[in-house]
């Protein structure tokens, strides 16, 4: 509706006043009940059309100034767009090609349309449609696409494509320069190494998938559900069961699922196959929180129709936590909710590889320019274009093919080092192509549950207002509980008849200060009663069937009992009451039983339960004590919700703050005694409200609120979700390293905020801005402006509000969020997590890393530039899909600071040195050609060229993968050193240019030196210049190394030995021109003193100035780490 309203520039004072009123109406609405501000929000919706042209203000003045001619201000997004030729030149051609490829792939792999389906029970033959196989697939290729896919991934790099063209040109006789193997051998070796590495990675993925897909299922009990099902029947007598959904949505709360009542009531299990019934299910969807369907039984009179909702479903990747379940499969394979929320794995390419790709393009331009200059100096005589191509081939070593081989072997070496590191045991490198990415990360997205926390709740603190109990004083509480229950038991036995009237009188008597003992007694009883926990007793006799559960209430042995609940907090509270003496022994829909320290059983009838929701932030229960008939309303909830409900006190707010600062999750517990008349009046109004057709939720809430007045505050509890080992120091290290950390979780806002504080993701001095829930454009606009005015504060935002902001103000929101020191996104679906990662990549252009441990993190891990999976209690789904798999969160510190640093620094040095090796020999070729009248004749024959890039220099150059500038201990102690890596200074156009100048200087000195010093023995110029070249390269490797390793020394001497041996045995290659000219190397000549001192002189002139310059640079402008290592 708002989108069709015409847009006019608003300049009147009345309009400005209206804007002020809108803001006031929105910001004055506060508190848990949001009914009051709904009206003003709907008004905003109608007027939100004006926001199309309104930029986000930098300050309040834009809203308040009646001269606000915002129609003159362009929107941020429009100014950033490029059009026409500028767009095409600035990378538009690339996106155009990508779009065309994506379209072709889409056409080839067009998916069949998803449809609703009808599934008959026990009659698969009635199913007309084919459905996908129920298998998981993490592989990138299949048998047919493997070779074409790997070749495409290789030749999309400019470097490899260039060498393919050069190699193919050698089949044309007019362009042939040397032997075919000179070009094809290195290219074949590169491709063979790549194909082997990819094949090994792919085979590992295939084996892991096969292992997962070969698991057999029949009845599901305490194992992962393999496909999406409708829940038909369970062994639990209540007709319901709990499931764990942490692998699907990241929530640790156990969810209650209800079996279809028609099938649950069937006398025997076999009757499922004898009835004539079917399930109708909607078409597969992304949303994991909704489902619509129906169950129909046709052979009963009348036919049974039951509506099915989300509570009747069991999604794949969830785990049955209690009893056994039987269901009918409705979605399989690709159509399951968990797979639909998982993105396809992409081939990840490291930033360093992209940078080197750019540099090789620059080298290619230099190659063309050099060849054109040579032809121009020739005077374009004869078939000059053929000469141009021959020069292109002669100088082709400017772009070294060994670059890819060396880098790929280096990556394999880094992966091996990571897996061998004893400080991070169990680490696995699953994607061996991107170890350098670990040294370039700016944004780290992490899951909460199981990643930062252990997901184990521990009761830590009980506060009664005047006295506080911690873990070391729990025995005092136990003594008080034992004492109070022994007293009440003796009073009850001594005067049974008259026990009720005095208790009733007490509720209306004036309030007197009770003893600490009685207050502890009341608090512990309230905590033991106010919850949704069910004790479960494991069946002792195997195969005892359903009757075992019916008689379970007779067996109250402690070691046989486990607790189930929708929240781990509640389980922690009930376990704590058990530890102090008051034990929950049984519970069903209408009653619960507690066991006192003396073994007496107390029975309470459950009259009403008011469940916890994220809106009301509290839960309540009304119970009647069977022995006294006393009715009590207990309530517990967040301090925000409870502070207005309990009687006036002066300590609650302060103590809640103290506990929150300790990272504890607080709950306020209160009670209210009700008379029979009060309860009956409430029940009649409550039942009436539940039957109303209009505004049912509001009416029910109003009736419950009538009870929630002037409640007696009993206690404040503090529960700790235990963090993983060393999470705090690890997060602090990452923050100091300049990495911005975003926590993306499916959990509740309060829980996420609490963990953000306790883990020190948000430091103690920082404010937290909780982004208010927004549902439309107007609200998002106002809230973003409120957020813009905050400085240096962490942001907490819920998934649905994030969705609204990204819909209307994507660029503005990301820009603001990126300025925050930390961001917490709660209630995030798996797809949203991946979307956030992609947004950061697009808007910032920085490298991102995602860390998670559950199936719900797989999309995020695959979308990030670098995905790290943690192998935890919750299965291996994340670690299998990740690039790097670790066993604990704390290992990330060493993985990034040490291995990330080393991998990036080593690859940068290795890449540039290999380029230098190609440039220096091309410079010598250029000098040689120019001296000999610009003839396109090769200086060195085939074998020398291949040997130069392999046996003569390969080992010393490759030994750079063992170099390190900083010791691991120093890198961990000073994480600030990591900030330099993200700037990419180790490999840039500046450093590349320095290497180019070094290569031109050294190549020129070597060739001219050889020609000047050996005029009389000109026939030996090849041997002389090549010997000096090899010595220069070995000395340059020594100059580049920062920390020597014994293998580096071995490599240097091994290469020198190989070269000296070849001088003796391959002397025919050291003459000028072809071997048939008879220009053989005289072995006697190379042993003369003249040869040795002249070669030595040339080598010294080429290397000594560089050694002096390096020494001066270290003295005058030392690197940031040198002070730490000295």
- The pair of three-digit structure tokens given for residue 409, joined into one six-digit string: 């072997």
Q: Give CA–CA dist 1072/937, Å, rounded.
A: 10
Count of alpha carbons within 13 Å of 563, Cβ hemisphere only? 23
Helix (H) or strand (E) holding 604: strand 601-610
The structure's pTM equals 0.71
- The pair of three-digit structure tokens given for residue 580, joined into one six-digit string: 């102090």
Which pLDDT does position 1125 carry in this prediction? Answer: 65
Q: What share of the chain is helix, strand, coil (3-state, %, to 5)?
A: 55, 15, 30
Helix (H) or strand (E) holding 409: helix 402-420
- The pair of three-digit structure tokens given for residue 98, joined into one six-digit string: 């990508």
- The pair of three-digit structure tokens given for residue 639, joined into one six-digit string: 């301090």
Among residues 667, 672, 690, 817, which one has the least CA distance to residue 742?
Answer: 817
Tracing tokens 């009990």 back to the chain, one arrives at 221
User: Would you call 844 exposed, middle or buried from its count of C-beta atoms within 10 A (0-12, 13-18, 19+)?
Assistant: middle
Q: What sections of 254-314 are H helices per DSSP?
A: 261-264
Among residues 532, 534, 566, 569, which one has the least CA distance to residue 457?
Answer: 569
Q: Give CA–CA dist 688/75, Å, rounded.
A: 53
Expressed in angstroms, the distance from the first to the final Cα of the chain is: 70
Catalytic residue positions? 447
Which pLDDT does position 883 carry in this prediction? Answer: 94
Query: DSSP letter string over 229-246?
Result: EEEEEESSTTSEEEEE-H
Contacts of 912 (CB under 8 A, 6+ apart): 987, 991, 992, 995
Q: What is the pLDDT of residues 475-534, one digit of tens each?
A: 999 999 998 888 877 766 655 544 444 343 334 333 445 688 899 999 999 999 999 888
Helix and strand numbers, DSSP H then E, in the chain: 43, 30
Which pLDDT does position 378 carry in this prediction? Answer: 83
- Which regions in the chain score pLDDT beneath 50? 1-83, 89, 497-512, 541-554, 1072-1080
- The pair of three-digit structure tokens given for residue 898, joined into one six-digit string: 């040490």
Query: DSSP letter string over 913-959?
Result: HHHHHHHHHHHHHHHHHHHTTT----SS-HHHHHHHHTTTTHHHHHG
Interior/surface letters 969-1004, b for 16+ CB within 10 angstroms, e for the rest: ebbbebbebbebbbebebbeeebbeebbebbbbbbb
- The pair of three-digit structure tokens given for residue 494, joined into one six-digit string: 């001594």
Contacts of 1045 (CB under 8 A, 6+ apart): 959, 962, 963
Residue 62 in contact with residue 10, Cβ under 8 Å?
no
Residue 852 in contact with residue 773, Cβ under 8 Å?
no
**DSSP assignment letter at 911:** H
Q: Give CA–CA dist 401/39, Å, rounded.
A: 69
Query: Would you call 167 helix, strand, or coil by DSSP?
Result: helix
Residue 806 in contact with residue 813, Cβ under 8 Å?
yes
Give the angle subtended at the CA of 978 by the CAs of 974 and 981, to the nearest 5°.
150
Which pLDDT does position 4 carry in this prediction? Answer: 38
Which pLDDT does position 1073 carry in this prediction? Answer: 42
Tracing tokens 């703050």 back to the chain, one arrives at 657
Residue 350 in contact with residue 385, Cβ under 8 Å?
no
Q: Give CA–CA dist 721/456, Å, rounded.
A: 6
Residue 415 in contact with residue 711, Cβ under 8 Å?
no
Q: What sections of 725-791 are H helices per DSSP?
A: 727-736, 749-758, 777-788
**DSSP assignment letter at 111:** P
- The pair of three-digit structure tokens given for residue 736, joined into one six-digit string: 């100091």
Which pLDDT does position 293 carry in this prediction? Answer: 85
């Amino acid at each position: 509706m708002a989108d069709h309203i015409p847009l006019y520039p608003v300049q009147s004072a009345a309009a400005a006043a209206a804007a002020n009123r809108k803001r006031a109406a929105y910001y004055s609405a506060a508190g848990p009940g949001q009914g009051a501000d709904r009206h003003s929000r709907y008004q905003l919706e109608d007027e939100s059309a004006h926001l199309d042209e309104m930029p986000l203000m930098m300050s309040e003045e834009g809203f308040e100034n009646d001269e606000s001619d915002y129609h003159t201000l362009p929107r941020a997004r429009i100014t950033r767009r490029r059009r026409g030729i500028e767009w095409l030149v600035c990378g538009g051609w690339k996106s155009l090609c990508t779009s065309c490829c994506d379209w072709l792939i889409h056409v080839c792999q067009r998916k069949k349309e998803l449809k609703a389906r009808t599934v008959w029970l026990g009659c698969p033959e009635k199913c007309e449609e084919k459905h996908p196989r129920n298998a998981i697939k993490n592989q990138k290729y299949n048998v047919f696409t493997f070779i074409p896919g790997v070749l495409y991934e290789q030749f999309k790099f400019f470097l490899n494509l260039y060498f393919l063209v050069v190699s193919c040109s050698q089949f044309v006789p007019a362009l042939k320069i040397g032997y075919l193997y000179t070009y094809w051998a290195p290219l074949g070796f590169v491709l063979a190494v790549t194909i082997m590495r990819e094949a090994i990675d792919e085979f590992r993925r295939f084996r892991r998938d096969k292992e997962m897909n070969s698991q057999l299922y029949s009845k599901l009990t305490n194992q992962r559900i393999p496909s999406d099902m409708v829940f038909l029947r369970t062994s639990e007598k209540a007709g319901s069961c709990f499931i764990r959904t942490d692998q699907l949505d990241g929530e640790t709360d156990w969810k209650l699922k209800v079996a279809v009542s028609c099938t649950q009531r069937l006398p025997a299990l076999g009757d499922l196959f004898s009835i004539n019934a079917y399930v109708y299910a909607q078409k597969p969807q992304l949303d994991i929180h909704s489902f619509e369907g129906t169950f129909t039984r046709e052979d009963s009179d009348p036919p049974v129709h039951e509506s099915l909702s989300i509570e009747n479903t069991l999604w794949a990747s969830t785990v049955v936590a209690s009893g056994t379940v039987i269901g009918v499969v409705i979605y399989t394979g690709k159509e399951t909710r968990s797979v639909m929320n998982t993105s396809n794995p992409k081939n990840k390419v490291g930033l360093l590889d992209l940078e080197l790709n750019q540099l090789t393009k620059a080298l290619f331009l230099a190659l063309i320019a050099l060849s054109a200059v040579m032809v121009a100096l020739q005077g374009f005589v004869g078939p000059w274009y053929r000469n141009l191509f021959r020069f292109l081939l002669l100088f082709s070593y400017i772009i070294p093919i060994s670059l890819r081989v060396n880098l790929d072997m280096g990556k394999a070496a880094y992966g091996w080092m990571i897996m061998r590191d004893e400080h991070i045991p169990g680490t696995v490198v699953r994607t061996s192509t991107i170890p350098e990415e670990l040294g370039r990360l700016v944004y780290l997205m992490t899951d909460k549950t199981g990643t930062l926390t252990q997901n184990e709740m521990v009761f830590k603190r009980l506060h009664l207002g005047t006295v506080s109990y911690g873990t070391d004083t729990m025995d005092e509480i136990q003594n008080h509980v034992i004492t109070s229950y022994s007293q009440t038991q003796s009073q009850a036995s001594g005067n049974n008849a008259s026990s009720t009237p005095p208790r009733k009188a007490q509720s209306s008597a004036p309030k007197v200060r009770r003893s600490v003992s009685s207050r502890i007694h009341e608090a512990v009883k309230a905590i033991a009663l106010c919850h949704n926990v069910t004790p479960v007793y494991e069946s002792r006799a195997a195969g005892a069937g359903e009757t075992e559960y019916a008689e379970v209430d007779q067996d109250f042995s402690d070691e046989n009992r486990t607790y189930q609940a929708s929240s781990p907090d509640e389980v922690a509270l009930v376990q704590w009451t058990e530890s102090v003496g008051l034990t929950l022994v049984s519970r069903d829909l209408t009653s619960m039983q507690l066991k006192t320290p003396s073994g007496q059983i107390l029975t309470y009838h459950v009259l009403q339960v008011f469940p916890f929701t994220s809106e009301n932030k509290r839960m309540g229960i009304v119970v009647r004590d069977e022995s006294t008939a006393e009715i009590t309303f207990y309530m517990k909830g967040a301090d925000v919700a409870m502070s207005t409900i309990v009687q006036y006190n002066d300590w609650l707010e302060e103590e809640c703050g103290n506990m929150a600062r300790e990272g504890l999750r607080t709950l306020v517990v209160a009670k209210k005694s009700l008379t029979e008349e009060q309860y009956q009046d409430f029940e009649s109004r409550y039942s009436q409200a539940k039957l109303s057709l209009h505004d049912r939720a509001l009416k029910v809430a109003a009736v419950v609120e009538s009870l929630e007045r002037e409640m007696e505050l009993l206690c404040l509890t503090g529960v700790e979700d235990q963090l993983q080992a060393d999470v705090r120091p690890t997060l602090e290290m990452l923050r100091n390293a300049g990495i911005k950390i975003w926590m993306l979780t499916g959990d509740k806002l309060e829980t996420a905020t609490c963990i953000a504080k306790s883990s020190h993701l948000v430091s103690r001095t920082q404010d937290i801005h909780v982004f208010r829930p927004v549902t439309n454009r107007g609200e998002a606009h106002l809230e973003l402006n409120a957020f813009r005015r905050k400085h240096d504060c962490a942001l907490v935002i819920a998934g649905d509000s994030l969705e609204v902001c990204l819909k209307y103000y994507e660029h503005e929101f990301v820009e603001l969020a990126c300025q925050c020191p930390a961001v917490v996104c709660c209630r995030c679906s798996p797809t949203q997590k991946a979307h956030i990662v992609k947004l950061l990549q697009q808007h910032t252009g920085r490298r991102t890393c995602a860390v998670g441990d559950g199936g719900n993190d797989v999309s995020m891990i695959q979308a990030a530039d670098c995905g790290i999976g943690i192998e935890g209690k919750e299965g291996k789904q994340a670690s299998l899909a990740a690039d790097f798999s670790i066993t604990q969160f704390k290992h990330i510190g060493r993985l990034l600071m040490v291995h990330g640093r080393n991998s990036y620094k080593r690859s940068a040095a290795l890449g540039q040195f290999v380029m230098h090796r190609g440039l220096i020999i091309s410079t010598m070729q250029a000098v040689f050609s120019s001296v000999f009248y610009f003839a396109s004749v090769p200086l060195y024959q085939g074998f020398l060229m291949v040997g130069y890039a392999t046996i003569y220099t390969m080992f010393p150059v490759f030994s750079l993968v063992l170099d390190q500038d900083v010791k691991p201990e120093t890198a961990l102690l000073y994480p600030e050193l990591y900030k330099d890596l993200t700037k990419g200074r180790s490999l840039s156009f500046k450093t590349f240019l320095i290497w180019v100048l070094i290569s031109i200087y050294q190549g020129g000195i070597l060739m001219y030196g050889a020609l000047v010093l050996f005029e009389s023995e000109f026939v030996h110029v090849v041997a002389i210049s090549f010997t000096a070249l090899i010595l220069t390269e070995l000395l340059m490797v020594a100059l580049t190394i920062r920390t020597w390793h014994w293998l580096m020394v071995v490599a240097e001497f091994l290469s020198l030995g190989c070269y000296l041996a070849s001088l003796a045995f391959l002397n025919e290659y050291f003459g000028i021109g072809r071997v048939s000219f008879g220009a053989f190397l005289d072995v006697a000549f190379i042993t003369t003193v003249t040869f040795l001192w002249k070669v030595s002189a040339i080598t010294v002139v080429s290397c000594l100035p560089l050694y002096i310059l390096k020494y001066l640079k270290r003295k005058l402008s030392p690197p940031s780490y040198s002070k730490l290592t000295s």
